[in-house]
Amino acid sequence: MDRGASDGAPPVQVRAAAVPPPALAPQHATAAPLPASPPVRVRIPAAEVNTGPVPRLGLAADGTVEVPTVAQADRIGWYDKGVTPGEPGPAVLIGHYDTVNGPAVLRNVGRIRPGDRISVDRADGTTAVFTVRELQQVDKESFPTQRVYGDTDRPELRLITCGGALVDGHRPDNIIVYADLTP
């Protein structure tokens, strides 16, 4: 996400207008839930992402969610303490925008718009396809933990990376992409 971010990458921003009120339901049909199966590849055409394998992420020693290592900057990780993509609830994927080594897997997150697709290939050979509902940029100090990790009654996806201009070598914001499983 931002550990040792590079000075060469431009700040990423998302437009606040892309964020509808949180109470709005998906604007498209939601697909039937899928059984549990870990993700193995993530494809986001709008952001030129096609990456795998997908590292498993847990909790860091300080209780925060792990992020992929700098060596995994070209990968998107899956928070394995939650649901797998396609199960009811919010599956959480996390990737770097940049690192000390330069731009990373989510360097083009600013190109993602509502209506874009995110495909997650799963270990059971199926693909869960999600449609982006909204994007949100928040200061890390105001991270919407309940909204990101809280239970939902339908299969949803959260894609998280860092954003904002560099401050002391770190990006102060998180960019959160909210998406719904679609038929």
> Regarding predicted confidence, which is higher, 131 or 7?
131
> Torsions phi, psi of 109, nearest 5?
-60, -30
Q: Which CATH superfamily is domain 29-174 in?
A: Sortase (2.40.260.10)
AA identity, residue 182: T
pLDDT digits 0-9 by tens, 16-53? 434 444 434 445 567 899 999 999 999 999 999 999 99
Under the banding of pLDDT at 50, 70 and 90, the label for residue 7 is: very low
Predicted confidence at residue 24, as pLDDT, reads: 44
- Alpha helices per DSSP H over 90-176: 145-149
pLDDT digits 0-9 by tens, 71-81? 999 999 999 99
Under the banding of pLDDT at 50, 70 and 90, the label for residue 15 is: very low
> Residues of the chain with pLDDT > 90: what percent?
79
Mean of pLDDT values over 7-23: 46
Q: Is the pLDDT of residue 2 over 50?
A: no
Dihedral angle, C-alpha 52, 101, 108, 7, nearest 10 °? 160
Predicted confidence at residue 29, as pLDDT, reads: 66
User: Which residues, at least 6 apart from 85, have a Cβ–Cβ distance to it below 8 Å?
Assistant: 39, 78, 91, 93, 120, 122, 128, 130, 155, 157, 181
Q: Write down the mean pLDDT value for the chain.
A: 88
Predicted confidence at residue 85, as pLDDT, reads: 98
User: Which residues, at least 6 apart from 102, have a Cβ–Cβ distance to it below 8 Å?
Assistant: 6, 8, 9
pLDDT digits 0-9 by tens, 148-167? 999 999 999 999 999 999 88
